[in-house]
Amino acid sequence: MKKQKQFNKSLKPSSKNWIKRHINDPYVALAKQNAYRTRSAFKLIEIQEKFKIIKDKDIVLDLGAAPGGWSQIASKITQNVIAVDILEVAPIPNVQFIQGDFLNQSTLNLIKDAIGESEINVILSDMCPNTCGIKKIDHLRIINIFEEVTYFAKNHLKTGGSLVVKVFQGGAEKNTLTDIKMHFRKISHFKPKSSRKQSPELYLIATGFIGNGESPFLRSTSVSPNDGEQA
């Protein structure tokens, strides 16, 4: 008990507030009751209920999947879920896991092998970078991930496919949003009830990808403008 009290005293006020919110968060309790790996699983549940993004037999690619909460939900709808993360993810029924950076060509080759002659119907991303506490830098990191995911989607989604990606309010993403609107028939922004009120996160729901009829893995030999390198 003394060690616990000493540990609590050593925490920053922001960390103490996070722990307090986490303990009192009803979605944390619900996640445990439903054996979901994360509370964020409820965000995808709400998105699916409203937008019907994932359909039976769809091939779903979950980018930055660890620890697997979104893949769990997607796997209840379709048996064709591919989860990608640089971190290891414990096995999930109906989910094929690929450990690697989705920006790297080697990881892309594994994704290609996993889907075979098929194409990706839905790309999901609930990724958020590690923050440093400096608002401007943190926001730029968030936008960087958003741009990388949307770039990947434009190169590898099946025509008519859908994208769900986390985006934060702030404005620096306007140019990317303008570009995305040129490649999808419909763009929506959605904040799930399960998203914490104090969080600036939103989800961009892009449906009806306008493709050019080619195989998505032939449209571009480059995965990223950064050639697979991350800072």
Structure tokens at 118: 């098929």
CATH code at 38-209? 3.40.50.150
Q: Is the pLDDT assigned to residue 217 strictly greater than 70? A: no
pTM of the model: 0.79
pLDDT tens digits, 12-40: 444 344 334 544 667 788 878 888 888 88
What's the rounded Cα separation, in Å, for the pair 86 and 90? 13
- 186 part of the active site: no
So what's the pLDDT on residue 164? 97
So what's the pLDDT on residue 170? 58
Q: Provide mean pLDDT across the span 200-216.
A: 77
Give the active site residue among 166, 181, 186, 191.
166
What's the rounded Cα separation, in Å, for the pair 122 and 55? 9
pLDDT tens digits, 91-116: 999 999 999 999 999 999 999 999 99
For the chain, what are the domain ranges?
1-33, 38-209
Cα separation values, 67 from 46, 71, 113, 184, Å: 19, 9, 23, 29
Q: What are phi and psi of 30, to 5 degrees?
A: -65, -35
So what's the pLDDT on residue 133? 64
Instruction: With beta carbons less than 8 A apart as the criterion, state whether 30 and 51 touch.
Output: no
Averaged pLDDT of the chain: 80
